[in-house]
Amino acid sequence: MRYLVTGGAGFIGSHYVRSLLDGSLGAEVSRVHVLDKLTYAGNLGNLAPIADDPRYSFVQGDIADGELLDEVVPGHDVVVNFAAETHVDRSISGPQDFILTNVVGTQAVLDACRRHEIPRIVHIGTDEVYGSIESGSWAEDAPLLPNSPYAASKAAGELLARAYHRTYGMPVSTTRCSNNYGPYQFPEKVIPLFVTNLMDDRKVPLYGDGLNVRDWLHVDDHIRGIQIVVERGEPGASYNIGGGVELNNRELTAIILEQMGRAWDDWVELVEDRLGHDRRYSVDDSRIRALGYSPSRTFEQAIGETIRWYRDNESWWRPLKG
């Protein structure tokens, strides 16, 4: 199978590429071609472990570049679109890049896949498209009610994928994951931000009252879910992928502090809440569980492994830390 992975130098995309090539996903792979713009969050260092694999190739470029897509898309059996701007705070201060990549870029990828008759396409989304939920969990047929420019841009991309399936019959499925964590995550995200701050003897900034709830999903489990959708997902369908670990931000902060031997009163700084901050996310992932998915990593084990990875790989994150 010949894979094209857009955004394959980012946190989740690179994990998927490494796992395709090291055999841990159990997929038949003859080629993995990565297309990535290498913005601040894209990093060829994320792909260093497989850089010498003869099945791997890389091209730097923008998914919104239709001419480039006509060069790189043909000949692939599967296109997995990870390419996205993803940081909510950045979307609040500057939404335009999010619209260009997450909406216009997604449309360009879909058009190229249609022109070149790609047999399988999976578009990677987020549970943030649902907005906020007070109780219960979102199933895939819940309305999309995004509350940040980032989430709105991702919802628009997903709706384009749905429309291309309905209009053109394209074999595209979408996924909606909960909050990811693990190695190689850019240090603006909450877990690596807190861990690296504490390593530098800096306080961790906790938004508002710290009671916002997220479901935490290790990137290993996320990419296993994605591969299940690649291989067995229904074209036109969306699939929630959850970790099954709901924590409010105070609980998450306390776990990280305990793991790193730091006291709350000395190392936590309460800061003004994020604009439009969603209170709680929770996904019902029974649809993908029916295909054989279940999280394999316990949070207690995986958060410790993640912290150790950042301790052992300071040379990776230090140049990225503002």
- Round to whole Å and give the CA distance between 181 and 230: 22
Report yes or no: 147 and 278 within 8 Å, Cβ to Cβ: yes
Pairing of strands 56-60, 120-126: unpaired
Q: Helical H runs in 206-271?
A: 219-232, 249-259, 264-267
Catalytic residues: 127-128, 150
Of 160, 295, 301, 302, nearest in space to 228 by CA: 295
Secondary structure (3-state) at 19: helix
Nearest Cα neighbor of 168 from 122, 118, 123, 126 is: 118
d(CA 265, CA 181): 25
5 has which bridge partners?
A: 34, 80
Cα 143 to Cα 138: distance, rounded to the nearest angstrom: 9
8 A C-beta contact, residue 16 and residue 8:
yes
For residues 241, 245, 248, 254, the Cα torsion angle rounded to the nearest 10 degrees is -130
DSSP 320: G
How far is it, in rounded angstroms, from Cα 224 to Cα 294? Answer: 9
| Distance, CA of 73 to CA of 117 (rounded, Å) | 10
Contact 76, 118 (CB under 8 A): yes
Measured in degrees and rounded to the nearest 5, phi and psi for residue 91 equal -70, -30
Residue 311 structure tokens: 């301790």
